[in-house]
Structure 1
């Protein structure tokens, strides 16, 4: 009596397919990152040396991470084409790639933790965010090591592996959420009521929400896919590209300061107020005044009054330059 052949899962669909898509997303975001870094090094030449070195470090790490992802999918689809056992067996390439994702996210989150400490002036809050980032990053490192030992038969504790993955992704989601909430709350409280300053603060809040929530939501999606698709590797579609989201969020937050600086140094001319550095005399409608009999006295008075209003519009309620915008641009 013959027995029916055992039908093996289509590992090319359940494992290699999601990995290939994740590699595509990774490389697209890598191109975006290289463009962002090119803009950064051209526009932000006066940044602190350690910040510039941090960007260089991220470029190196992201390049290695992308190379690992490419090497892994090439090994699966070319070197081991048709070998179902090899398709289902984890390799050190994907394990180190996972470690790189956790390491990069920890570095970026630690940078934002420093930003939280400087902006809020609360050291304990900065250390709290740093601790959350380190816990999440260390969990990814432990996950990579456990995954390797499990594949070698040294450890047969799949539950421990799952717990480390949950700790890593939950920690990343919580850390990103805390960073976003703290920064947005602090910036919102620093609104002055003056349109120029508040407009810049609103833009900072917008960028903070976009970058912070994007990484938090991506980490959460990664976790959900990991927990709900036990027979596939769909989480790799997000996981392989996750590091690029973190690096892009950091570099984009550095690049966008140029626009904030421009707005902070430009006086609103919609009410006939001069741009800084202009010596042209203008009336309240913004037109160049033509000299008539004794016009200079009245025009000069109006011009000085308007300059005073413009100067106040770029200051805080205490009549001094808003320290939040100034500090955000200078320090970050």
Structure 2
């Protein structure tokens, strides 16, 4: 039996699914923000400003997205003209997502700048910032232009939306690749240091892959199906993926996890790493004996220098 909504399934279904993910990720973001501020991290004011900014932007984006979905799916139910005259809040999807993505990419480019401390790192960090600004402006332009054309002509805005999504994807890939390169460059002959680097490597890959994959999927869907709302499913929650990745990276410093904390590798807790005590440069063997470690260069522990505290 054919149902009345089936002809519009590719318009209504993606909005419903995207809205569910949107609210779910907002809840996760609020919890992560609470965890961050309850942990008492002594981060710089600009980092805290970014956190407040992305939280406020994502709350506003959720309100806008919910208004758009309500207008289309509820108030516009059974009226095909709803898809011709879309609510103004639906045009804010690329604007809000592009802005939040840029703020998070600025943070990670700064981290590359701090960790790398060489010409290559500086060039890459600047390149990421420029790409972040480019994709944000493209998202803003695409969102504004969408308000002045009918839905069947959205495909004509392919250059703007391609720059927005490809820019987000490209910046994320650059962040992952050069963070991995920096971590690899700092591997040495000390097992505990290498263990911390391996932990960082896993986190970098996971966080970068999530946002890059979402931006890439949305780009492909927009190119292949521009006259539907299928590409709006990831667009509804893309910004919140970036925000959650940012908070997840910052909150890894809780409890005994000192990978991102200040003070260098001396902050490694002996209960977490019982085989290694850098404070006295002593390696404890399994039989309880101790061996004095030779002097090491600062580069061996570069990965553990402060990257998000007031000391920078």
Structure with max Cα Rg: 1
Kindly tell me: are residues 110 and 269 of structure 1, through their superposed partners in 2, closer, same or farther at Cα, counting changes over 3 Å?
A: closer
Matched with 2:173 is 177
1:269 is aligned, of 267, 271, 274, to 274
Q: Which runs of 5+ in 1 are unaligned?
A: 1-7, 287-301
Q: Following superposition of structure 1 onto structure 2, how do residues 59-74 of structure 1 map, counting pairs within 5 Å?
A: 59-74=55-70
The CA deviation string for residues 210-242 of structure 1, in whole angstroms up to 9 with x for no partner, is 111111111000011111123421111111111
In the alignment, structure 2 segments of 5+ residues that lack a partner are none
How much does 1:115 deviate? 1.3
User: Which whole-Å CA distance do the structure 1 matches of 2:40 and 2:76 have between them?
Assistant: 46
Q: 1:146-200 deviations in whole A, cap 9, x for unaligned?
A: 1012249xxx975541111111111111111011101111111101121111111
Is 1:209 matched up with 2:211? no
Equivalents in 2 of 1:255, 1:140: separation in Å?
29
TM-score (norm 1): 0.80
Cα distance, 1:319 vs structure 2: 6.7
- After superposition, the Cα gap between the structure-2 partners of 1:48 and 1:161, relative to the gap in structure 1 and judged at 3 Å, is same
Contact 2:186/2:299 (8 A) holds in 1? no
Change (3 A) 1:61 1:285: same
Correspondence 1:41-52 to 2 at 5 A? 41-52=37-48
CA distance, structure 2, for counterparts of residue 194 and residue 16 of structure 1:
56
Matches within 5 A, 1:113-128: 113-121=109-117, 122=119, 123-128=122-127
Look up the match of 1:241. 237
CA-CA distance at 1:111 after TM superposition? 1.4
User: What is residue 251 of structure 1 aligned with on the other side?
Assistant: 247
Equivalent in the alignment of 1:285: 287
1:324 maps to which of 278, 303, 310: 303
Query: Is contact 1:40-1:254 (8 Å) kept?
Result: yes
- Measure the CA separation in 2 of the matches of 1:283 and 1:180: 35
C-alpha distance 321-90 of structure 1, shift in aligned 2 (>3 A): same
8 Å contact from structure 1 (residues 14, 231) kept in 2: no
- Mapping for residues 1-332 of structure 1, pairs under 5 Å: 10=6, 12-121=8-117, 122=119, 123-151=122-150, 158=154, 160-258=156-254, 259-261=257-259, 264-267=267-270, 268-270=273-275, 285-286=287-288, 305-306=290-291, 308-309=292-293, 317-318=296-297, 322-328=301-307, 330=309
**Contact in 1 for aligned 2:218/2:235 (Cα 8 Å):** yes
1:322–1:235 distance in 2 versus 1, CA, 3 Å: same
Is the 8 Å Cα contact of residues 169 and 219 (structure 1) preserved in structure 2? yes
For the aligned residues, what is the CA RMSD? 2.8
In structure 2, distance between residues paired with 1:172 and 1:119? 22
CA contact (8 A) 1:44 1:255 kept: no
Give the match's secondary structure for 1:100. Answer: helix
Equivalent residues of 2:114, 2:307 under 8 A apart = no
Instruction: Report the Cα offset of residue 119 of structure 1.
Output: 1.5
Task: Measure, in 1, the Cα distance between the counterparts of 2:107 and 2:115.
Answer: 12
The alignment of Structure 1 onto Structure 2 pairs a total of residues equal to 293
Which has the larger displacement, 43-52 or 167-176? 43-52
* Kept after mapping to 1: 8 A contact 2:98/2:140: yes
Structure 1 CA distance for aligned equivalents of residues 44 and 226 of structure 2: 46
Separation of aligned partners in 2, 1:243 and 1:256: 21
Q: Is the Cα contact below 8 Å between 2:94 and 2:143 reproduced in 1?
A: yes
